[in-house]
Structure 1
Amino acid sequence: MLRRLTVSQVLFAVALGLAGGMYIYQPIFEQYSRDQKELEEKLQGFQAAEEKKS
């Protein structure tokens, strides 16, 4: 017997899927953020060293 899903059931499934995806990929997002901060700090240090040479 087939029956259709209600809008509230679909919205609940979508919300659950998004929350699960964020939970699973959170470590990857955190690592990316840390890497970007490190690169920015290195770039600022390099620029400061270049300015001192001038």
Structure 2
Amino acid sequence: MFGRLTFPQMLLACVLGVAGGIYIYQPIFEQYSRDQKMLKEKSQIVQESEEKKS
């Protein structure tokens, strides 16, 4: 029986793999989210300053 995995074992391995990937890459996702918020805020500030000039 060596080398064979049952369905529950495969399911557990998949769940642990996905959870581990999310855990490892979470800081990268958070940094990307922060960067996008900052870019959005900067673009809004630039748009507001251009509207005031007009």
Structure 1 segments of 4+ aligned residues over 4 angstroms from their partners: none
Match of 2:15 in 1: 15
**Partner amino acid, structure 2, of 1:45:** I
Give the count of matched residue pairs: 54
Identity %: 69
Structure 2 gap segments, 5+ residues each: none
SS in 1 for 2:5: coil
When the two chains are superposed, the root-mean-square deviation of aligned CA atoms in Å is 1.1
Q: CA–CA distance in 2 between the matches of 1:29 and 1:23?
A: 10
Separation in 2, partners of 1:43, 1:29: 21
The match for 2:33 is: 33
Structure 1 runs not aligned, ≥5 long? none
TM-score for the superposition, normalised by structure 2: 0.93
